[in-house]
Structure 1
Amino acid sequence: MNYDLIKAQIIATASEYGGKILLAILVLIIGRIVIGKITSMVSTLMDKRHVDRDVQPFLNSLISVMLNVMLLLSIAGILGIQTTSFVAVLGAASLAVGFALQGSLANFAGGVLILIFKPYRVGDLINAQGFTGVVEAIQIFNTILVTVDNKTIILPNGALSTAPITNISGKGRIRVDMVFAAGSQNGVDAIRSSIRKVTNSCPTALKDVEHDILVTKLTENAIFFDVRVWTLSENYWDTYYYVNEGISKQYSVDNIGAPKPAELSVALKQ
């Protein structure tokens, strides 16, 4: 065995690649330190911007993975490894996966946007995609609504992030709008007084605001009132049903007569 030849090959290899290996190790160490600093800064920035804590770990992990992939590609380039083919194959694979999962990716992106910008929160009453309900959970791919009749509705976040949403609970207070009718023979003041008794006695109606009881339509047989009662968002349905039932009972107590069904049908068409 020619030890001199082997020694010469080792020296030649070390001379050719030794500097590259040392540089690659140095870049790896410095790169890891820089990545740690960047992820720490991003985490601090998200805390200051009050980004949801449920999404912060995911975003940190995503940023860290992306930066580490870039670091590894840089190190491979320093060592002389051809990364062009590798990047091309990775890009093609990513494109194929992206097409296969484009619906899920859209929902995922929508979930991240919802968690960051918070158009609604857990516990809010919202109307979206034709459904009205209380937000039970905001997941990465879906938002879970519970309707008034206790049905669970699962809505994809991709659609929610790009379509109009009515956040009924957004301001904390909400106005419950209702329409009631009574026979015109009763008189406006008598009907309004009867309705006022119900709105004043409603336990979920706010006491520091005036509730509107407005004549909205007069016909030969009926008087129509817009009744607008202010309440807290979470008490919307309790207020709605209380006032509806209460007015029916109060009409009976106050002898407020309703239009005959046939007459009311004609009045509504006018």
Structure 2
Amino acid sequence: MDWIDRIVEMGISLGLAVVTLLVGLAVIKVLVNFISKQITKSKLDESLKPFIVSVINIGLKLVLVVSVVGILGVPTASFVAILGSFGLALGLAFQGSLSNLAGGVLLLTMRPFKVGDYIDGAGYSGTVKAIQILYTELVTPDNKMIYVPNGNLSNSGIVNYSVHETRRADFVFGVGYEADNQHVLKTLQAIVSEHPDVLLDPEPFIRLSGHGDSAVEYTVRVWTKAEDYWVVHFDIMETVKTKFDEENISIPYPQMDVHTLDS
């Protein structure tokens, strides 16, 4: 009857392992939710919060799996060795994912950006919503979600538009060669000085900067708060067109004169 005892013993172990697994998963879910709420209320950097929650969740589930395997009678040391070998093989098969994991750690360590920053990186642009273990979530201005692999992001150039409080808006306007230089400069100066979001320190730069094929080019550079950049950009573009029309300052367009010879 030894085989009956063994079957009963295996059944008990299996039942206990299943119960442990189900209860463990439920406890982990409650525990992770609690930790997540506490971390959300904490003063930790917003970039670290989702990453820490993900690491805790994965770590607790690994501990649970090892415990369940131990209940089934598998030697824990042997299982850990097998798990390590499996992890090595899996790592070779998923090198890209490991690269993304390393990239996530690098991004959180070097911190070239944080949650809420607007960035360009790996060919994408958007506001950083979260930095996960394998990817970073970006929200575009038209409310699209982009999931950028951390490996690509950490190995590419990143432009962070939110680091400094101010930004410079650059413009180049072309006017006809017949326009009076001083008249154009005064008109541009009036447009810039009248805009409420243009900063006077640093002082705006307005100069004749080039002689093109069809127009004289004027460069305008103004400083504004980062959050007002696009307002200033579009306002000045629109105002220049309106003011130039009012002041009879022509804005030429490229043209070509074609002469034909009569036969």
Classify the TM-score, shorter chain.
Answer: 0.5 to 0.7
User: How far has the Cα of 1:194 moved from its partner?
Assistant: 1.6
Percent identity between the aligned chains? Answer: 36
Displacement after TM superposition at 1:109 (Å): 2.8
CA displacement 1:171-230 (0-9 Å, x = unmatched): 221111221111121122211222222222333322432111122212464211221121
1:142 is matched with which residue? 135
TM-score normalised per structure 1? 0.63
Residue 160 of structure 1: which of 153, 156, 161 is its match?
Answer: 153
Is the alpha carbon distance of 1:150 and 1:187 closer, same or farther for their aligned partners in structure 2, counting shifts above 3 Å?
farther
Mean Cα deviation higher: 153-162 or 203-212: 203-212
Quote how far apart the aligned CAs of 1:248 are.
0.9
Matches within 5 A, 1:180-191: 180-191=173-184
Matched with 1:126 is 119
Q: 1:132 deviation in Å?
A: 3.0
**Other structure's SS at 2:102 match:** helix
Selected match of 2:240 from 240, 247, 261: 247
**Aligned pair 1:179/2:168, yes or no?**
no
Q: How is 1:88-103 mapped onto 2 (pairs within 5 angstroms)?
A: 88-103=81-96
Number of aligned residue pairs: 206
User: Which residue of 199, 205, 230 corresponds with 1:212?
Assistant: 205
Matched-pair contact (CA < 8 Å) for 1:55–1:112: no
Question: 1:52, 1:116 within 8 Å by CA — same for their partners in 2?
Answer: no
Q: CA RMSD in A?
A: 3.4
Cα distance change on mapping 1:110 and 1:93 into 2, 3 Å? same
Asked whether the 8 Å contact 2:101–2:133 carries over to 1, the reply is: yes
1:230 aligns with 2:223: yes
**Inter-CA distance 207–225: structure 2 relative to 1 (3 Å threshold):** same
Which runs of 5 or more residues in structure 1 are unaligned? 1-46, 73-80, 264-270
Structure 1 residue aligned with 2:110: 117
Amino acid in the other structure paired with 2:160: N
The one-letter code matched in structure 2 to 1:177 is D
Seen in structure 2, the aligned counterparts of structure 1 residues 154 and 242 have a Cα distance that, compared at 3 Å, is farther
**Shift in Å at residue 232 of structure 1?**
1.8
TM-score, normalised with respect to structure 2: 0.64
Which residue is 1:261 aligned to? Answer: 254
